[in-house]
Amino acid sequence: MIDSHCHLDHEPLLSNISDVVKRSKDIGIKKLLTICTTLESFDKILKIVSQDNIIYGTFGIHPHEVNKYDISKDLIIKNINQNKKIIGVGESGLDFYYNHSEKKKQIDSFKKHIEASIESNVPIIVHSRNAEEQTFDVLNLYKNHNPKILMHCFTGSYSFYIELEKLNAFFSASGIITFNNSIDLQSTFSKIPLNKILIETDSPFLAPIPMRGKKNEPSFIKYTLKKLAELKNINSKEMEKITTDNFNNLFFSNEN
């Protein structure tokens, strides 16, 4: 198993990282990708990735945070190149659910992150909330450059999935697919091709059933994997191999 999206720089994970990693290994997790959201977050991630060989990281500014920084494409690329264990750009994207940052600044930041990911030839981890049309429109501007796209914690509509499929995107399932009221999302994931699906925790957020109410952590990913296997009508071991292979194909194909 691979947790394709967690936030090890957040508490309570950061203070207990040795135990968190041990529990991850105990259930068979082979890689953890800890995701950057701010410049301060990245400072922590550079230290975190050195603590265990299964931990990798990204660099990016979350759409909620773009008002605080003036980030250039060159700075994103520079940070990606700081450490060979920084393997992706993000999370970036558009979030129009809250008014934490201006829409124009979000779009400008998103474009810089996409351009940096293309130039660096690494995936971009995309956050999209209440912005399906705008997210697709921005990504579609770069379709001729074949960006490597991972839709993080995908909760979009089936029609949004169909549009993103045109861009050869990957889709990551979080603990939300275990929720009883996520019928439409479960239906969408049942239709996404197996070779385009990853899994994540987004920990310490979004703990899956039966861990609702607790702080999420990477080892809880086994519940999301089990639910996804049920939706695809295959056994958990097969789903484990598929999602692991998909992650490695997306993030490490350049090494082959």
Evaluate whether residue 53 is within a structural domain.
yes
Evaluate whether residue 232 is within a structural domain.
no
pLDDT band, residue 255 (cuts 50/70/90): low
Evaluate whether residue 248 is within a structural domain.
no
Question: For residue range 66-125, what is the model confidence (pLDDT) as tens digits?
Answer: 999 989 999 999 999 999 999 999 999 999 988 778 899 999 999 999 999 999 999 999
- Give CA torsion, residues 57, 215, 93, 185, to 10 deg: 120
Question: For residue range 145-165, what is the model confidence (pLDDT) as tens digits?
Answer: 999 999 999 999 999 999 999
Domain total for the chain? 1
pLDDT for residue 76: 98
**Spatial separation of the C-alpha atoms in residues 175 and 25, rounded to whole Å:** 19
Q: Residue 82 belongs to what domain range?
A: 2-160+169-208
Evaluate whether residue 46 is within a structural domain.
yes
Evaluate whether residue 152 is within a structural domain.
yes
Question: For residue range 6-57, what is the model confidence (pLDDT) as tens digits?
Answer: 999 999 999 999 999 999 999 999 999 999 999 999 999 999 999 999 999 9
pTM, entire model: 0.96
pLDDT for residue 3: 98
Evaluate whether residue 21 is within a structural domain.
yes
55: CATH: 3.20.20.140
Evaluate whether residue 213 is within a structural domain.
no
